[in-house]
A = this chain, B = another copy of it.
């Protein structure tokens, strides 16, 4: 058996980012850029007014005061007719182009307009008027030819605005990995069925599919495979067309645990089988060499909780790596134990906890971790109340009340904390 960190390195060595694809902005959100994005024109493309008011020549206004003749009016979308000369002003709206010759905007609140004898004037009473005030000069936001977003960046909502500003409605990004999910077990029936004698519902398929989505992958539901060689081989074959194939069940040492055997027959090379970890020891991992990058195959234990732990520790980072995402694991936070904990056995153990207290308050106090009263690794209902999984390293058996431990946050913990 290998250690957790060894297993993770062996997986990540084989998890190469997917080939980039050109995507529209909607699909590209949250994905990682596979090209530098260059600005095509100066932005803004003209000297732009940032306030409603009057465009003026700053040097006309000693001490911020003066009276000017109003010669034009420009709204956003208009083009100023004539250049502005000394002694003149142009009424201007936010977003409109500043007329040539003008070098400052005085805001409405400092202006009083007057019309007399067909002549419009504006009396200005401002503080000091600085050249450039309330104007965003052409190219001041981004110059033509500048790189605005670099390779490797994960695209945010603000980036979508920036991409639009520089005229990009399509970008090259690392696509979301496709992840086939195949629970195995002759006892399994679909969730919509009522189990007959000896049958139970397939809860792993929906859970793993949802976890794949939450990790940024595209789940591909392969249904359920019964424990026969021919059925396993047929369905695994379909799954091996995807970037990742996740199997659940059939990997411990029992007589009917056919999964590793059938995978080897299909040409999948075993990388490891078994990790020093509780729960999750029977984890199987292998690769199928392929022209477009190796297919990764995970055989997770069939117990839902063991499956979840293996997913969070090993599959989530693999999905992130295929998506070229920089952050590859769930966040770990420090928490104080609300209960003592006693280790049984010699494997690093992840135990479901509920977090109490507010991590966001920033008073430096770690939150409290309360051990959940779970009934073993098939107890999905208790696990659904967990905010995280507390890690108890191997080599120590007793943990006292109030000791600080590391907790890997689950979705619920991220929602709430």
A interface residue numbers (CB < 8 A to B): 25-26, 29, 40-41, 43-46, 48, 50, 52, 75-79, 91, 93-97, 108, 136, 140-142, 148-149, 154, 156-165, 167-169, 185-188, 191-195, 197-207, 209-211, 213-214, 226-227, 249, 252-257, 302-304, 308, 326-327, 331-334, 360-366, 375-381, 383-384, 386, 410-412, 415-416
Contact = CB atoms under 8 A, between A and B. Distances in A.
A253 to B, nearest CB: 7
A79, A141, A214, A383 interface centre (most CB from chain B within 10 Å): A141
6 contacts: A29-B210, A41-B194, A94-B254, A158-B308, A161-B206, A167-B194
A97, A303, A362, A375 interface centre (most CB from chain B within 10 Å): A362
B141 A380 contact: yes
Given A45-B200, A167-B191, A415-B327, A160 B381 contact: no
Given A95-B185, A201-B164, A308-B158, A149 B384 contact: yes
A77 B250 CA distance: 13
A294 to B, nearest CB: 26
A179 B82 CA distance: 42
Contact of A198 (B25, B96, B364): B96
A326 to B, nearest CB: 8
Contact of A167 (B29, B41, B201, B412): B201
